[in-house]
Each structure stands twice: as C-alpha cells, then as structure tokens.
Structure 1
Amino acid sequence: MTDADPTGNRNTTVYERLGVPTVINAHTTATRLSGGIMRPEVADAMREATQWTVDMATLEARASELIAGHTGAEAGYVTSGAAAALLLGTAACVTGLDPARMNRLPDTTGMKNEVVVPRSHRNFYDHAVRAAGVTLVEVGLSDRFAGAGVRDTEAWEIAAAITDRTAAVLYVAGPDARPPLAEVVTVAHAAGVPVLVDAAAQLPPAANLRRFVAEGADLVCFSGGKAIGGPQASGILCGRRDLVMAAALQHLDQDILWEQWNPPPALFDKARLPGLPQHGIGRPAKVGKEAIVGLLTALDLFVAEGDDARIVRWTAQMERLADGLRGIPHTAVRIVRDRRNGTPTVELTLDEAALGLDALELVRRLQDGRPSVAANPSRVQDGIVLLAPVALRPDDERTIAERVRAILSAG
C-alpha cells in the first residue's frame, strides 16, 4: 500500500511519513501489535462513513438488526472492543433498565453487585467486568490445570454461589472451558441470573457467532478486530434485547431532551423507561460511526468467505513459509492446526545447544531487527517458535524466512 505525501512522493506509507516502523505480525491479532490487516473493502467503507453525519442511536439500531441476523440473538450492538462489551454487558446486568442505577455506577451500593465466575476462567480481561463496580466471586478449583487431579469447577458449585446479590455469571468460552456452558445456563437461569459470555477470540469457526446464544447465553462478547477483520477498536455485544438496550443506554451520548428523544424501536422501547440516564459508565468507551460501519462490513465479509476458504488461504501462506524455513541446520519445521478451527501455524523447533541460541533469543532478535517480525513466544520454553497467518500481508512469509535464516546462520 502506498500513499502520496505532501511532496508528491508516492512510494512511502503513512507510517514512514510518521517515522513509525511497521511490524510483520506473525504472532496474533494482539492489540499491542495493532491487530491485523483490514481488507480494502472495510477501509473503503470506513472512509465513506466519514463523509456524512448520522444519528448514532439509529446507526446502532440498524447494526443491532444486522448483528442479530448473523448471531441469532434478539439484539446486537457495536462496541469499541470485546473488553468494552464486557463492561457494558456487566453494567446492563447490574442496572437493568433503571436509569437511576445507571447514573450511580460504579457505585453499586444496594444493587446486585456480585458476578460469579469459575476460578479457571479468571484472566486479566475480567478487569473490564470489575470496572462496572462489581466484585467477582470465584468458584471451584481447577485441579486439572494445577496437575493435582482431573476436576474443575462444576455447575452445582456455581448454583451454590448464587445469592440475592448475584448480578450475573461470567463464562469465558474456550475449548477447555468447564463446566459446559449449557450446564451453567441451566443453574443460572433457575436462579433468575443472566450469563455473560466472553467469546472475544472464539472466531473462527463462524458457527460460534450463533453457538453461545443458541446454548442459552444472555449476552455474548466478540472482538471485531481479530479474525472478523474489522477495526481493531471494535467489538460485538449480542443477546437479550432488554440487556442490549440497557447497555446502549449506558454507552450512547444522552445529551438530549426527553421530549426530543425519539429512539429507533428496533433497539429501544421508550415506554419502558421513566427517563433518560445521564452519560453512562460506558461513555469513555465511545465507538465512532466509522468503526460501526467497518465492523458491519467486515462481519459480512467474514461470514461470506466461510471457514473452508479462509483455512485454504491461510494454509497456502503457511506452506510457503514452511518451505522457506526448511533445510536450516539444527531446526525442524512443521505445520500444526488448531484443534478447534483448523487454523494452521508454522512450528519451528530449534536444537538450541547445537545452534548456540535459544528460542526466546530468536524471538527477541526477530522483534528487534528491521523489518521487525513479531513471533509467538508461548512455547519458547520447549525450544519452539510459532508463526501464524492471521495478521500477515501477502508475501510476508518470504521476509520472515529470510530474517530467520539470517539470524540462525549468524549464530
């Protein structure tokens, strides 16, 4: 991609003009690495969106209808990321449609202000849940991860932890998540408590857009800037219409007179409200019209491409990368696939003693060189460097192979 600069030079990128080096991202669509590569159709839609102004509630209401069509949920909402969706979803579970409670957050005194979570589901992202003013109540012991046994949290333990202070049950989806979501939904709903699912990175497969709602989740959060290919600062909150409405009320700019406010009925039911809340706890997580349009465009493209075509595209790139790495002395190369969705990854194993260089040092040199290459260090303790396709540009695989060869040949 090239852009003209003010002097007429068409051979520089915007980052070169800013003096910011770019990164070849063979790690993941991590936020610290600015996510992935946006398809031109998405960028074009975002640029087009900047040329007009719209009523944001009306735009989000239309987004709700389109997201509902893709997810099977009653309603949907575009957020500024999956973490923002967790914050808004938690706030909705705490306040319901009570604007007085919305105005008080994060002060939850006198409200339902606890969220039950299996201990093995805890992670740094649940800070977004706690930011709504709730306390997380951990349940169970994850002996299978600690190596002390085979058990994890069980549904009856979640049921026993639910009290009249419980606003929601938080469930972090993943291939190893226990107990099964359907069991959690059963015990939570028996107590009248909603289930909030963090499914930020659970795409592909595209079927997961519908899976969690179909299993009974009340709210589901997805990242828009990962495999969907939308703007990095975008996400999806979908689920029950009343809860999505409550989330929207705590997110949108509400500086409008009650008599003037004429919200779109696709998302809002004005008759259920005594009045409008002030700017809510989600207001700092504002999402722009460009991001909403970009996310909706990317979502359509993600679903239209389909899992099989996506895997074929990624596999071809990983095969070219593996071919470029083969034959390097004291290394072994293979392609491994994610057991959930078939996503291919190149696994480069080093004979660290023979090379005189360990896997972490290779990751560091790739990162610190030019061009910078971000590799996945999650298995460096085993002498393995992982290289993934999701955020690569065409032909990045050639540059990665050249960088690896240069580093390993230098020792």
Structure 2
Amino acid sequence: MTTPKFAPGPAGAALRGLPRTDRLVEAADQAGMVEKLGHGAVLEAVRAELDRHRAAVLAGDPCPSPEAIEAGLLDRLREDARGSLRPVVNATGVVIHTNLGRAPLSDDAIAAMGRAARGYTNLEYDLVAGERGDRYGHAEAPLCRLTGAEAAVAVNNNASAVMLALAALMDAPPDRSGGGEAGVRPLAAPGRGEAEPGLPEVIVSRGQLVEIGGGFRIPDVLRRSGAALVEVGTTNRTYLRDHEAAVGPRTRILLAVHRSNFRLSGFVHDTPLEELVDLGRRRALWVVDDLGSGTLLETAPFGLGIEPTVQERIRAGADLVCFSGDKLLGGPQSGILCGTREAIARVKRHPLMRALRVDKVTLAALSATLAHYERGEALEKVPVWRAIAAAPEALEARARGWLAVLGAAGAGCAVRPSRSAVGGGSLPEVTLPTSVLALPGPPDALAARLRRGEPPVVGRIEEDRVVLDPRTVLPAEDEALVAAVRAALAV
C-alpha cells in the first residue's frame, strides 16, 4: 500500500517539511552516486527513503531535518555502491564456509579465470583440426589421470551431478558383456515394452537418505530424476542381502551416499561399495556413488580421520562417482562425475547436460586447480589444503603477530588455544587445533561492527568473546584484518 503524501493536522505540517525528490536526486548526483549506480537506482532509493520517513511521521515519530534525511540517503547509497556481493575476511576458522562462498581459489585459478573471461577461447573449438571441439575435454584428461577413471565430466554442482547421473542411467542397463545371472530377466527401458509397468527403481540404504544444506534431500532428487526410491536395511545397519532381496525387474541403479554432514556410530554397518559393485555386475545394474565433498588427498595425516578418496571409489568399480569441486578439492563451484566410458557417455548425451554444464571461466579455474594436484603442490597452492595443513605453532605465531601490531589498541585482547572446523558439510565433528585472537567487549555489538567494516570481517563468538582464527584468514589479509579490528575496538 502506498503511503499517503499528505495528512491533516501536525502530521501534515511535518510531512510538508520533507525535502523534494529532485533535491535528493541532485544531492546524490553531486556525491557521484548517479554515476556509480545509475539514475534509476538512485531515484528508486530516494523514493524509498521518503516513503520510509512519511510512514514514520504518520506513526507519530518526529520528522528529521532535510539535512539529516539527505545524509542518511547518501550513507545508504554509498553502501549500495559497494555492491551486494563483497569480499569478506573469513576469521571464523571454518575452512569450507558455505555462507562465505566455500573454497577460496588459488592464485593460478584466479589468473586462469581472468584469461578465460578477458576474450574469446577455444572452449568448443579444436585448434589443430580447425573444427568444433569438445568443451568437456579441458578438464576430463586431468580428472582421469588423477582418479584413474575412464572418463569424466563437470557440471554446476554436486546436487546436479547426482541428479544427472540418476536421470542418465535410467533408460537402460549397463553393457555387462558376459555378465548377469542365469534366470535374471534383462531390464527394458521404461515405457518401452517392459512387462511390469512402473517407474525405474533406485535402491539405497535407509541410513543414507540424507539431507544436506539448503534442503537438498536424496529422496527428492530421486523423484526429480524420474526414479522410484526403494529403501533397504535400517537406519544403522544395512547388508548386501538387503540390496539383493530388493532387486526386481524395474531395478536400475544401486546408489551409495556418503553421510557428508553427520555421523552414525556404535552398532553400525554399511554395505561396502565393493559388494555393491559385485551385485551390480551380477545383476546388470548401475552402481552410482555420491561421495559428497570428495577428496583426492589422504585426510588421515592431517588429523581429519579416514575419508575415502575418489581414487579408491573408482578402483572399487563404481560406474559413476559424484563429488564437489568447491569443497575438499578446493576449486570453483562444480560437480564432478568420474567413471566408466559408457556411463559418462550416457551422461553427456542426456538433455539435462546442456542445462547443467559449466562455462569457460569455471572450466579454466577447475583445470588450474587440478594442475596443482598433478604437480604435487596442492598443500602449498590450494587455499583449502593450505589452511588444513597449517601447523598449530604457525597459527599461534600469526595470532600473536596480530596482537603485537595492534599495540595499545589491542588492550584487553588475548591469544588463546581453540579448535577450527573443516565445515562445508565435510568431515562433521572433525576439528583442528588452532590459536585465536580473543577481543574484549560485548560480543554481539563488536561482531556487528566488524561485519560492517571495510572489508567486512566475520569471526565467531566463543566463551562470550569475539575470536578471530588465523587458519582461514588469507596471508594477504593480515593488514586489513588488523585495521578492521583497530577500528571496531575504537568505537
């Protein structure tokens, strides 16, 4: 409902004291805001500002002076001019922070994105043959070398990868030449002469029907891909015999799902992937492994427990392994499918592939990230792994360095031990030793001042104090962080 511009009595007199629209637009123009934001955006902001003050006056609040209204408007326009998507300093200690954009990219990946974005590229052009080329080949070769897969392709995230994998493998069974069991009826594509009508079926353990961030649920993905879900086993224990008993004439896929963001412990049993692969070979079924975050490096040496690597799952024989490119891989947002030539060929031919494919900039960043692994320099060059591998002594020294630079402005600050989280749905409940800079003062107000700074600094509240964890602060951000802390403490 539009706020009335005029009203009788004292409120009407107060409303007539509001500055004119053209005066505020002119003030914004003189401050350079029209040039930065455009006339339409400034006019919209002016009208919104005036509407806000009209509503407040009609509610009984006093009307600010025209000068105060103009100053408030310009403050808001300057904030808008910064843009809504802004760089922040991640001092939370959460290495893969979903709300802060997950994995920061390496310098090489950023440079590769710039080169790809700056002009034309051979995205789908074969420079040797002088004809149309394969856009998927840019990342496929290194993915195959690193994982041992026969073929690979990248899409826009792992949720897409899983959905595409299921949708692409529904129509027909794999070619298991010489395989199958005697007496098992060959599977027909749905709607193409199948004796028993109904949706094709995907078998998954009840203990793996997970929901991850953003409401992404495995049962929902199955429905969207055109499959019927068949749950087997119990929440905590599922055996091969449970999968075998559920195989029927409409079964197409055996799906394994990594419990990326929670743990089951105690009286627990999961069907090993190798056993699912054996069942898939015997019964002409696809085996799809949703590995979630995925990793190409062993995690145990860094105190993260034992996580299956993509290479291990490929060696186990899964037809497709799906994982994220922007979590433990440390690359751009993407979902990666690695597996057999037959399975990947079906994925590439599926109509959804065009809707879910990645662009040249993402492919450039992904290829540059994979190159770090091939050169054996991921621990030094990939920011996620550099943060994970950071030694506790180095982190303490860095936090103490911040405190020393703060000098007198850091009165009341202290360095103390704490724990960092990996985050991003990866390795739940796994933390790493760190040291943090604890700041004095009311934590909520101080955290808000840090977030409103330039650049914004996001920390965490621990034991009623704002703490800043050096594990996730990039090396080039130290000076900016110290300046932001000094400004926030000075208020």
Counterpart pick for 1:199 among 266, 282, 291: 291
1:334 matched residue in structure 2: 418
1:116 matched residue in structure 2: 204
Query: Any idea what SS the aligned residue of 2:96 has?
Result: coil
Code of the residue aligned with 1:315 in structure 2: it is: A
Q: State the 1:348 CA deviation.
A: 6.6
Query: Any idea what SS the aligned residue of 2:103 has?
Result: coil
Do the aligned residues in 1 keep the contact of 2:173 with 2:285 (CA within 8 Å)? no
Q: State the 1:405 CA deviation.
A: 9.9
Code of the residue aligned with 2:229 in structure 1: it is: L
Q: State the 1:248 CA deviation.
A: 0.6
**Residues 80-118 of structure 1: per-residue CA shift (max 9 Å, x gap):** 1212211211112212499x97999xxxx7552434244
Whole-Å Cα distance in 1 between the matches of residues 155 and 356 of structure 2? Answer: 8
Query: Any idea what SS the aligned residue of 1:76 has?
Result: strand
Q: State the 1:230 CA deviation.
A: 2.5
Do the aligned residues in 1 keep the contact of 2:199 with 2:227 (CA within 8 Å)? no
Do the aligned residues in 2 keep the contact of 1:37 with 1:229 (CA within 8 Å)? yes
**Residues 110-136 of structure 1: per-residue CA shift (max 9 Å, x gap):** 552434244244224334444212233
Q: State the 1:204 CA deviation.
A: 5.3
Do the aligned residues in 1 keep the contact of 2:200 with 2:226 (CA within 8 Å)? no
Whole-Å Cα distance in 2 between the matches of residues 401 and 159 of structure 1? Answer: 60
1:266 matched residue in structure 2: none
1:139 is the counterpart of 2:232: yes
* TM-score with structure 1 setting the length: 0.66
1:264 matched residue in structure 2: none
2:245 matched residue in structure 1: 160
1:46 matched residue in structure 2: 113
Equivalent positions of 1:208-287 (< 5 A) are 208-232=309-333, 234-250=334-350, 280-287=351-358
Q: How has the CA–CA distance of structure 1 residues 386 and 96 changed in structure 2, closer, same or farther, with 3 Å as cutoff? A: farther
Q: What RMSD over aligned residues (CA atoms) do the two structures have, in Å? A: 4.7
Code of the residue aligned with 1:89 in structure 2: it is: A
Q: State the 1:367 CA deviation.
A: 7.9
1:270 matched residue in structure 2: none
Q: How has the CA–CA distance of structure 1 residues 244 and 325 changed in structure 2, closer, same or farther, with 3 Å as cutoff? A: farther
List runs of 5+ in structure 1 lacking aligned partners.
Answer: 1-5, 8-14, 143-150, 251-279
1:256 matched residue in structure 2: none
* TM-score with structure 2 setting the length: 0.56
Greater radius of gyration (CA): 2
Query: Any idea what SS the aligned residue of 2:352 has?
Result: coil
Equivalent positions of 1:15-54 (< 5 A) are 18=83, 20-25=85-90, 26=92, 27-49=94-116, 50-54=119-123
Whole-Å Cα distance in 1 between the matches of residues 349 and 191 of structure 2? Answer: 10
Query: Any idea what SS the aligned residue of 2:289 has?
Result: strand
Query: Any idea what SS the aligned residue of 1:58 has?
Result: coil
Counterpart pick for 2:256 among 164, 171, 187: 171
Q: Give the aligned length.
A: 347
List runs of 5+ in structure 2 lacking aligned partners.
Answer: 1-34, 37-79, 126-132, 175-187, 299-307, 405-410
Whole-Å Cα distance in 2 between the matches of residues 35 and 103 of structure 1? Answer: 42
Q: State the 1:60 CA deviation.
A: 1.2
1:253 matched residue in structure 2: none
Do the aligned residues in 2 keep the contact of 1:118 with 1:171 (CA within 8 Å)? no
Q: State the 1:51 CA deviation.
A: 1.8
Do the aligned residues in 2 keep the contact of 1:130 with 1:136 (CA within 8 Å)? yes
Q: State the 1:213 CA deviation.
A: 0.4
Q: How has the CA–CA distance of structure 1 residues 331 and 154 changed in structure 2, closer, same or farther, with 3 Å as cutoff? A: farther
Query: Any idea what SS the aligned residue of 2:136 has?
Result: helix
**Residues 25-77 of structure 1: per-residue CA shift (max 9 Å, x gap):** 34343454223322232222233334224427613135333321111011111
Do the aligned residues in 1 keep the contact of 2:102 with 2:327 (CA within 8 Å)? yes
Query: Any idea what SS the aligned residue of 1:78 has?
Result: strand
- Calculate percent identity across the aligned residue pairs: 24
Whole-Å Cα distance in 2 between the matches of residues 102 and 62 of structure 1? Answer: 34
Whole-Å Cα distance in 1 between the matches of residues 239 and 190 of structure 2? Answer: 33
Q: How has the CA–CA distance of structure 1 residues 211 and 340 changed in structure 2, closer, same or farther, with 3 Å as cutoff? A: farther
Equivalent positions of 1:58-97 (< 5 A) are 58-96=134-172
Whole-Å Cα distance in 1 between the matches of residues 165 and 208 of structure 2? Answer: 21
Code of the residue aligned with 1:141 in structure 2: it is: T
Whole-Å Cα distance in 1 between the matches of residues 357 and 191 of structure 2? Answer: 17
